[in-house]
Chain A
Amino acid sequence: MKIFSNKNFVAWYFVFPVAFIHLFVIGIPSLASLALCLTDWRGLGEINYIGFENFIELFDDRYLKKAIINNVIWTIAFLTVPVGIALTCAYLLTGIKRGQMFFRLAFFFPYMLASVINCQIWKYLFHPIHGLGGFFERIGWDFLAVSPFTMKSTSLFAVAFVDGWHFWGFLVVIYLTGMYQVDNHLYEAADIEGATKFQKFRYITLPMIRPVFVFSIMIIIIWSVPVFDYVYILTGGGPAYSSEVIANYMYSQAFERFDVGYSSAIGTLMFFYVMIIVALFGLFRKAGWDI
């Protein structure tokens, strides 16, 4: 629409407030962080430039290594379990007539709840004396006799489970929007050919919903990086760093040890990782992958 082009400066008035607030809160502090990661600042006193020393220290930090590995496990867990369940449920939902809306709402509702609420629910359910543990004990089964949040071998998966429980309904709705656009004639033709349910899913549904599927993969990879709430509330990264993730580690470096330079370095690392992922998906799209 070119008719207002002579009023360019007025148009800019309208964009200015958003740009200003966003720059003030996110843009400039981000740039500051990208600069502070090269210093040894601790929030007070003078700022000394120390080059890449923070990053050298980063690569020697075994707690951070543990946190990065846990984030990778977290990403892989989210790319498989919730995606698999959500694809199954969305596909099954398209095959039924009655109650579709009910199931959609039931699956989606936990996504609306605050992290504190979800954590409280599952802390209770995984409580060894109360909750599921207490229930199973009464029927003579010592399943969940110890809270999975307090065991080194299970803490990370228990936390990821709670976050996944709250998240997967969101994926169902995303996949459904893709699946509703698939032409029914394709399924009818496949029925005539005698295709099984799985074959129809594999050769019709999956290729047809590729755009939303790739979108979901991208947001899972990006959203798995700053995971914080669930870890902080449920385990605080423990026991013995077994459920530590990058964001929680960075938070303790920043607000318990006040190591601004070091925590900025961790933030910088996370930022570049996310930007590379975004750029990669952008490149794939440009390269004509039709996503």
Chain B
Amino acid sequence: MIRRGIAKRVGAIRFAYMSPEEIRRLSATKIITPDTYDDDGFPIEMGLMDTHLGVIEPGLRCKSCGGRVDQCSGHFGHIELAMPVVHVGYVKEIKKLLRSTCSECGRILMTDEEREIFISEMDGLRKLGGDPLDIRKLAKEIAFTARKSSICPHCDGQQLKIMLDKPTTFREENTKLTPKEVRARLEKIPDRDLIPLGLNPEFVRPEWFVLKVLLVPPVTVRPSITLESGDRSEDDLTHKLVDILRINHRLRENRDVGSPQLIVEDLWDLLQYHITTYIDNQTSGIPPARHRSGRSLKTLIQRLKGKDGRFRQNLSGKRVNFSARTVISPDPWLSINQVGVPVRAARELTVPMKVTAENIELIREMILRGPEPWEKGKYKPGVNYIIRPDGRRIRLTETNAETVAEKVEVGFTVERGLMDGDIVLFNRQPSLHRMSMMAHEVKTVPGKTFRLNLAVCPPYNADFDGDEMNLHVLQSEEARAEAKVMMMVQEHILSPRFGGPIIGAIQDHITGLFYLTHKNPLFSRRDVVSIFSNLVTEGSPEAITVDGERMWLGKDIFSHFLPEGLNIQLRSSICESCDTCKKRDCENDAFVVIEDGKLITGTIDESSVGAFKGDIVDKIARDFGTTEARIFIDRVTTLALGVITLKGFTTSIQDEDLPKMSVKQIEDTLLEAEEEVKEMAQAYRDGELEQMPGRTLQETLEVMALQKLGKARDNAGKIASKHLGLGNNAVKMARTGARASILNLTQMAGALGQQAIRGERPSRGYDQRTLPHFEKGELGAGARGFVKSSYKEGLNPIEFFFHSMGGREGLVDTAVRTSRSGYMQRRLINALEDLMVYDDASVRNPADTIIQFKYGEDGVDPMRSIKGKAIDMDDILMDMYAIKRERGE
């Protein structure tokens, strides 16, 4: 594919209405016969598949242009209608025109002076920047004023009321107006009178709304398909056109022989019906035309409309080549910038290479290797196609490799398979934000799955339970350059949504780093070698001598990967937010201090390096550049995995074991709460419950019960977590932010708590009770969905039932939510897509309306901001002191 010359742009598109003359002029042939093919299977002359309209079968040539199937895009034909028929899309317009013009003389129902005033008003509106919609609105108002006068100011003709019987019949008082009469009236309206009514006489005459000639689309627009059985199946449009032709024919015959008026009119109505459904098969008021099987036909408007219509399906979104899709799997040895592409995909996907004097030898070699070369069991990129300057493609095979290699010259293009380092786009649906499609570097891998680094899961929202992703190979140098500069993963470490990192350590990475840094453990030489064995790094961390042996401190190991000059202070996720923070002296080791790239105190966990929260990642990306940040994430995650592999990590049901004492305590708390709720219910029945302002008695009870039971669950949780310390692996995960939360743990160890349906206690099911196990009117905790058991203990059948109710609600909720939020996002994007920042930092739309004088009021890019703030003053101070130190002040 070679593009030559200057790419031209379409400047503008003008929409206009086609006049009958234009249709006839455009038409390649007049269509008369309703039949399509003759017995030999050849298209009938002047039939719907006439070869003047283009060809759909290979071998035939178009009679209009002589082109073959892929050369001729088709030509229009036309049908002369026996009697005129109303166009459904414009009935409202016709009604407006009939009502606001004189039925006798066809003039607009206002004096010329009034008309001119309105026209100038319209011009004024246009000058003020009124768009076509504003003008339409004005035209509507004008038409409204005009139709109020019942006597024509021009000819004094009395105006009768004109009604529209949906969908296409017009009535004047009680007499039906035939389309012919309607057309005659519309013909009389002078051009100048159309302007105030919102029609542009340069492009449309109202009588054209009543069709005399019907445009027939080319056969290429409605191709017939040949079934396996050899039968032909026609397109819906062809079917409809056949109907129109048949009725048209009959109508003409009947009219010409002078059949009774009644029959002619019936046929006329039938023709109207067919043409109406040919245009829009969902017109309200008439039954849709159906296929023999009962399926309603997809006619013109249906082809354009909606999600599966031409616009949204084929024009706003397009199918592409050079793409692949397969299951994804994790690969911690890849960089976040890379993607593992399986060999099979790499062979199939190609990159065009232009043959130049500089690379011709290289390319010859490549071609000689054939289409599927291997070298020492390793993938080598092969060549699939050679494209000659005249556009001919030659497929490379083992056999023709040598001959082709000789033929290659400068100016040829060669399509080679992917090789390591190629830039590709990688995408996971739903593509909710721009980080759903990022550029990666190719790394060919064995197997059949795409591989990606775990740290890029958050932006794609990917996991490996069977997720599939798409890959697109860029085809031009310009595209590759743009992708590399703007779309590489490392450029998206910071999210424009909140000005923080969206790529960072997750799950085991965090646990690993916790093990490495918490309370600064010592690592032996053996350990360090094991941890470092998978890392690419220069130098080695500083060692200390303990008992005559060289040992390494965890924090020093971590510091080794921090860039020099990094200064930061933050609180770890494990911070217990004590009343007074002891900062560096924190006994939980939860205050992170990094000075000049050395970790002095603190535990590294989610709030340091995690995706969404990692402040260190944030700072590095911002102050040291994205490359440095990428290297940091790559290395630190591998480091963490080294540590966790060394240390080992597991969690089991025993992690939720509690001492007997606490189990008893929890039981007591829950029982107590239950008892209290019972008392409340009793008080409610006795009418002694004190009513909350603005709530009914029952609501009061519900609110109070919910509060009470919620508190009970919390208390149970507190008792449970007292015995769950940081020595517990499950707790480690929850506290460091690696996975799960304390709430999950308390639900496993303590009690599940209240199950809620629509935010309330379950109350429906049986008459005055949730389940037949309870007494009618029982309002206690258990009867209304309170689950005393923990996941570990297991739920009793009743509790299980309530839990399932809550679970089901969750599922339904998710299903509803995705569709609703999807639509909201579509609307938001549609409304805002055209907005762009201009050189003066103002935000404008294509109509050049200023939406914001300065983007975001301060002109700051949210992605570059620090959690929304333009400047972090602490950074400034640090810099300032550093400069002063340098100056020796």
Q: Do A and B bind each other?
A: no
B residues near A (Cβ < 8 Å) are: none
- Listed in ascending order, the chain A residues whose CB lies under 8 Å from chain B are none
